[in-house]
Chains A and B, each alone.
Chain A
């Protein structure tokens, strides 16, 4: 994915939901995209399947999948591509399943759509698929409707639907946010196991840093439609360079933290996408800003091997960030 730009044409101008986002994903990799709501992470994911809702549009950039550019595909090509090469699991399993169709059928039609299986094969594969996502008594439950399923079970069905065509990339958009804490872990575990079995890459979109730490190889941090930092999970967690990343990590309670270290919350709200501040988009909320931040937007530069950050200051240059942040 290169220099992606998604604009929303709304009354009174355009809104850049995603601006100049570039990243790549290797086979089998699990990449986390984190950021607050409205930071453009969901839009980035939706643009991979060209599912940006009206009045949004991809106005710039290429989304390369192997040799092919998703942004240039014909309608039929993109249809064949969706669910087949890249599958998506949505945030709210309560509303993401069609209420009037049987669970089994909804899994089945995903398989039939791509001629990978004959109608008969697809039908036979439904129950094994449901078993594979660990839905108990799958045989009896294929004929149930979504309202007869619990939230966790519905999300499992969504996952079954997603992996039924053995896609090489699975996008999970906050797959556990709408679920009970008790089922969250099992869903995450399921996604990890399945991606290993299928040797598929995963993009995990979340605002939960703990989840990223436990699951992902690489992290992309987004803010106001831009990537502000990216790199290997270890590096990012150990040495976050962008103040935003740093604050995100400090705002997360950790068991191993010494008691004296207080949690730091990020003051203020992310900027209105229609009225972006000049310079670095984070400077209004940044504790470490310098004059340059007000006028010039920093580039996404390499700060360590494999790690890039979009900041003029960088956290490694700050002596005692904790003290400065408390002020």
Chain B
């Protein structure tokens, strides 16, 4: 137990370092750019511009700007938006993160839930039509990009099923209703669900042929217990190892999905800010992303030894 806590502590420090490091790269990249958001404002006197620059500390040499920024990050302060004056970035992004996380969570639920279900069923009914159906869906599904699924989802639910969905919830800018979540979550989750299904099927086929599953049958356990407790438990181990990259993929995918569905999350903010050259926010979003991915990976690594007692930290 103490070892685990120590391990988590070490990892948290490492995540902090990685986050700062990665967003530093983005920071330095973006600060190579001559000019900034203010240059677009043509009717500005040089004095006013200088005042603005000073207000944001943009007139300082790059090193001092960087030091200021790192200090800010370590205090959880990501500065202010360059476009919408006086908007503090940290609280804005925290709010947007909660939106993104909600969608992401459901997408992960789709990915893992549907993927496991299809994979297990296909493995248990190997070489039946159920298996062929599930397997071919998976082999096609994991190649279809999430934004394509999103477009089809919009077409079907927003257009063809207009009468049923009343067209009210995919084109309106307002966000916050529960019924708005399923389609984006499906779009985000389906490609990865196919991947999980393939992996689960292969892994289940391996475990149901193992000696210990035969032992479980020989003990006279119920079929459900054998499948879930003995076969699936072990089949899950390789699946968990890909959860990290999966979460990274869902985060990347969410950038497009949020823009398609008009979801006011981090991904939408990211694209909007790049197009508006609001670099402070871009850097901020990236800092959040790096931290999120780090924490997600840590969570996976903590779950791992619970599933597989042979792994110890």
The answer to whether A and B touch in the complex, with CB atoms under 8 Å apart, is: yes
Residues of A within 8 A of B (CB): 49, 51, 53, 75, 79-84, 87-88, 90, 92, 95-101, 109-110, 113-114, 145, 147, 158, 161
Query: Measured between alpha carbons, how far is A88 from B218 in the docked complex, in Å?
Result: 7
Query: Measured between alpha carbons, how far is A179 from B274 in the docked complex, in Å?
Result: 66
Cβ of A109: which chain B residues have Cβ within 8 Å of it? 219, 221, 225, 229
CB distance from A73 to the nearest CB of B (A): 12
CB distance from B203 to the nearest CB of A (A): 13
Q: Given A79-B222, A92-B211, A113-B221: A98 and B309 within 8 A (CB)?
A: no
* Chain B minimum-CB-distance residue to A92: B211
Query: Measured between alpha carbons, how far is A161 from B234 in the docked complex, in Å?
Result: 20
**Docked-complex contact A98 and B230, CB < 8 angstroms:** yes
Query: B216 contacts the other chain (Cβ, under 8 Å)?
Result: yes
**Docked-complex contact B309 and A145, CB < 8 angstroms:** yes
Name the interface residues of B224-247: CB closer than 8 Å to any CB of A. 225, 229-230, 233-234, 237
Residues of B within 8 A of A (CB): 209-223, 225, 229-230, 233-234, 237, 307-310
Query: Measured between alpha carbons, how far is A88 from B214 in the docked complex, in Å?
Result: 10
Query: Measured between alpha carbons, how far is A109 from B234 in the docked complex, in Å?
Result: 17
* Chain B minimum-CB-distance residue to A167: B220
**Docked-complex contact A114 and B309, CB < 8 angstroms:** no
Question: Would you mind naming 20 contact pairs between A and B with Cβ atoms under 8 Å apart?
Answer: A79-B220, A79-B222, A82-B217, A82-B220, A84-B220, A90-B218, A92-B211, A96-B214, A99-B212, A99-B308, A99-B309, A100-B307, A101-B230, A113-B220, A113-B222, A113-B225, A145-B310, A147-B309, A161-B215, A161-B219
Q: Given A53-B209, A147-B309: A96 and B215 within 8 A (CB)?
A: yes
Query: Measured between alpha carbons, how far is A49 from B215 in the docked complex, in Å?
Result: 11
**Docked-complex contact B210 and A95, CB < 8 angstroms:** yes
CB contact between A96 and one of B209, B211, B221, B309 (< 8 Å): that residue? B211
**Docked-complex contact B217 and A51, CB < 8 angstroms:** yes
Query: Measured between alpha carbons, how far is A110 from B308 in the docked complex, in Å?
Result: 21
Cβ of B222: which chain A residues have Cβ within 8 Å of it? 79, 113
**Docked-complex contact A97 and B309, CB < 8 angstroms:** no
Cβ of A161: which chain B residues have Cβ within 8 Å of it? 215, 219
**Docked-complex contact A99 and B220, CB < 8 angstroms:** no
CB distance from A242 to the nearest CB of B (A): 31
CB distance from A156 to the nearest CB of B (A): 14
CB distance from B22 to the nearest CB of A (A): 35
**Docked-complex contact B215 and A90, CB < 8 angstroms:** yes
**Docked-complex contact B212 and A95, CB < 8 angstroms:** yes
Query: Measured between alpha carbons, how far is A165 from B310 in the docked complex, in Å?
Result: 29
Q: Given A100-B307, A100-B308, A100-B309: A110 and B219 within 8 A (CB)?
A: yes
CB contact between A80 and one of B217, B220, B230 (< 8 Å): that residue? B220
CB distance from A161 to the nearest CB of B (A): 7
Query: Measured between alpha carbons, how far is A304 from B214 in the docked complex, in Å?
Result: 39
Query: Measured between alpha carbons, how far is A101 from B211 in the docked complex, in Å?
Result: 14
CB distance from B33 to the nearest CB of A (A): 52
| Known interface pairs A81-B220, A95-B212, A113-B220; 20 further A-B residue pairs with C-beta atoms within 8 A, sorted by A's residue number | A51-B214, A53-B214, A79-B220, A79-B222, A83-B219, A84-B220, A90-B211, A90-B215, A96-B211, A98-B215, A98-B234, A99-B212, A100-B237, A109-B221, A109-B229, A110-B221, A114-B220, A145-B310, A147-B309, A161-B215
CB distance from B138 to the nearest CB of A (A): 22
Cβ of B233: which chain A residues have Cβ within 8 Å of it? 98, 100-101
Between A79, A81, A84, A145, the greatest number of chain B beta carbons within 10 A of the residue's beta carbon is seen for A79
